[in-house]
A and B are shown apart, each in its own frame.
Chain A
């Protein structure tokens, strides 16, 4: 928190940066920016700026550099890892006004969007051209492309299509000195755009610069989709189905799994869909040209049956497909209804370790008296244990954090890693030494040092060493 004299100076300086944009500095204007999708960890910024255009954003960056205050970018603030929060105070730049879809090139299969465009907004626009942008985090109704690129977001269908990084052809980034750079472009980088540093940028969680624009790859919209739902009496049979699907030539686009605790949570709620409460529920989809996918329907159902399911249901009809997805879709909201807070871990594990790690989650959670449910991207081994707790009750948050630490320790031991899609933020930064030894950490820290030597951009994120010193 800045001393009051400095705050006045900060406010005046920021007001000089924007004419159409907004500057917020009163406590009750800052409080709305105290936290992100985690909700229970609060960090009060000193100011929030909502720039109306890129020029204003450039001036804000330059001023922040001169003032020597930390800067943090925020899209929709749906991060589940403490990413868009002012961990060391300073300025939050909210990109909510930078939301133009600048161009859609259906023939070239790309589009150009500003960083504050939301995923659903983009999908609505692309629909009219019969193309789609595959990464599909379930926060799609609100999350921004800027946030997606900064965290390299994934989603259910990324099992087949791959995560955000596979679809970024190019991006425009503004560095702390206000200089504007384009890395890559719609045609993969030509002329001045040749330098392809975009891979450094994707997943950098706001630590290297502010993304303002993207050129994204789009694909033809699938002609037809079949959704399958099956339950399994135990993990052994469910895993058999997962392995069968992954290896099958019908090439499913998504493989999602809900554990019995999550199934029971849904079934014991008004959202019940009639699943056996002791079962694992698996969802999978195939999509593509009608003739091709229609021919594969039976073989997918057969894999599920052969693995041990006795209730395989499937449909190619939109309303019925929605019903098959229902249990999966309502699970997150139900957790919100059931507990004051919840935290979701995002570990990626080799599939062979699934049983062991689920058991670890159950044992640790049961011992601590914390409810845990699992609903996750089983196809790519992206485990999402959700811990339901109440941060107002003394000791609960500590318990949940301890479970997280033990879980991550084991995840890394079995050859997995800390995050599949949610990013590290400040919530998982403490686990980074589990993955990176001193040598690699030194190299990792060398990258922000080029762009942002004093860690002024999003300090204390990704690596705890990234503390800003004025």
Chain B
């Protein structure tokens, strides 16, 4: 090659894919290329909650990838420690955001989890299995959770789901949406809403707030009756069943004449986005409202202070920049990002249940600021119901020794039940 003309340089790079990270690398899960895509630079170490907790390289993305790779290539025997380090991963995907080589860690982790469950190396607890099964029968789950909704409404519930709230006991979100569509007749863009399994059966008040905010902002909301759980739960646990759920959702949402499919929980939105890729664009409701424009709320008191935490599956999964500032401004509250807002709170889908000690320690570090945070009241706002449960546990486990409220951002925009 002649230095001064630099010939040949153009042929050097394969550009067959338009997605970063997919060049010259197979996306096939079985392909060892996925495992070798890690160049061992270590850029993911400092964002990983379990590495920060333990200082153990094996408990980092780079370490886990190394163990899986060496085992796949026959240089490391199957070892309970590999299973242990695999089980330690929160699944927050912060490592994907940090990785300059675009290693599809989430995909690899999911594949490994499935292999470990299929071969009996990892066995999700009976409770998780039952919950995963229940999620595949939305009607049954809604019925089974009726007492939970009723107890929550009265503030009598204890435990992880005890985040204060007033879910409707009987009326479904779909029925509420039909009723409000009739009453207000919005004429703007048409969206279909994913109501989710736990969201609809336990945290239904958030779905209701979502419908009200959208309709108030002139958005037409459809809630397909034949939709089902997004399958994230099953995928996360490495259990079978996610594929059928995704197929059902493709049927429910795939052919709808809508401008977007919306989700109000980042993890569910991330999973549904992958299921519907190619047929519908799945958006987070707050991102959608940020672009659509939103009526601001007025507040009398200016003493309240909102601390906004960003769910991992929003910023690292869906790769959103964050929650739009115009949406946060529209809440009418003084707000600021929580310290380390892009770091995991320890909730990670089912992590609270599987690794309660780690989850608590991660949260203890992250929530410490609330002890002397300014504001009356102090509100911690996020956009994922699992993160809400986790943040609320900071109170129930006395990690934070002063009262604070946990809210979904959409609830801060809610025109109220009388709307």
Q: Chain A: residues with CB nearer than 8 A to chain B?
A: 22, 24, 26-29, 31-39, 42, 48, 50, 76-78, 94, 96-97, 116, 118, 120-121, 139, 141-143, 233-236, 259-261, 263-265, 268-271, 277-280, 330, 332-342, 355, 358-359, 362-363, 366, 371, 373, 392
Contact = CB atoms under 8 A, between A and B. Distances in A.
A39 B37 CA distance: 11
Interface string B6-28: 11111011110011110111000
Nearest to A120: B46
Given A37-B42, A50-B54, A371-B12, 6 more contacts: A29-B58, A31-B76, A32-B57, A96-B55, A118-B46, A340-B39
A363 B80 CA distance: 49
A165 B286 CA distance: 49
A234 B3 CA distance: 7
A283 B57 CA distance: 35
A260 B13 CA distance: 12
A28 B82 contact: yes
Contacts of B75: 31, 42
Contacts of A280: 6
* Most A Cβ at <10 Å: residue of B9, B25, B56, B98: B9
Nearest to B73: A392
B9 A78 contact: no
A27 B19 contact: no
Given A37-B42, A277-B10, A333 B19 contact: no
Interface stretch (B63-71, B255-263, B329-337): B63-71
Nearest to B86: A28
Contacts, number: 177
A48 B55 CA distance: 12
Contact of B58 (A28, A121, A366): A28
Interface string B67-92: 10011000111011110010000000
Contacts of B9: 260-261, 263-264, 277-278
Interface of B: 1, 3-10, 12-15, 18-21, 23-25, 33, 36-43, 45-46, 51, 54-58, 60, 62-63, 66-67, 70-71, 75-77, 79-82, 85, 98-102
Contacts of B1: 362-363, 366
B12 A337 contact: no
A259 B7 CA distance: 12
B3 A142 contact: no
A333 B66 contact: no
B19 A270 contact: yes
Contact of B13 (A77, A142, A268): A268
B19 A268 contact: no
Given A31-B66, A142-B45, A270 B20 contact: yes
Interface residues of chain A: helix, strand, loop or mixed (majority): mixed
B4 A336 contact: no
B46 A355 contact: no
Contacts of A332: 41, 100
Given A97-B55, A234-B3, A139 B13 contact: no
A121 B45 CA distance: 13
Interface residues of chain B: helix, strand, loop or mixed (majority): loop
B5 A234 contact: yes
* Most B Cβ at <10 Å: residue of A50, A94, A333, A358: A333
A39 B45 contact: no
Contact of A22 (B10, B14, B40, B54): B54
Nearest to A50: B55
A39 B54 CA distance: 22
A28 B39 CA distance: 19
A31 B67 contact: yes
A449 B70 CA distance: 37
**When A and B form their complex, which 6 residue pairs have the shortest distance between CB atoms, in order from nearest?**
A333-B100, A336-B101, A260-B6, A39-B40, A96-B55, A32-B63
A31 B40 CA distance: 13
Contact of A26 (B3, B42, B57, B79): B79
A78 B62 CA distance: 11
Given A28-B82, A279-B6, A337-B21, A265 B36 contact: no
A141 B12 contact: no
A39 B3 contact: no
Contacts of B102: 333, 336-337
A364 B8 CA distance: 14
Contacts of B38: 39
Given A234-B4, A234-B5, A337-B102, A24 B70 contact: no
A28 B79 contact: yes
Contacts of A116: 55
7 contacts: A22-B54, A22-B55, A96-B56, A139-B42, A141-B43, A264-B9, A270-B18
A337 B70 contact: no
B86 to A, nearest CB: 10
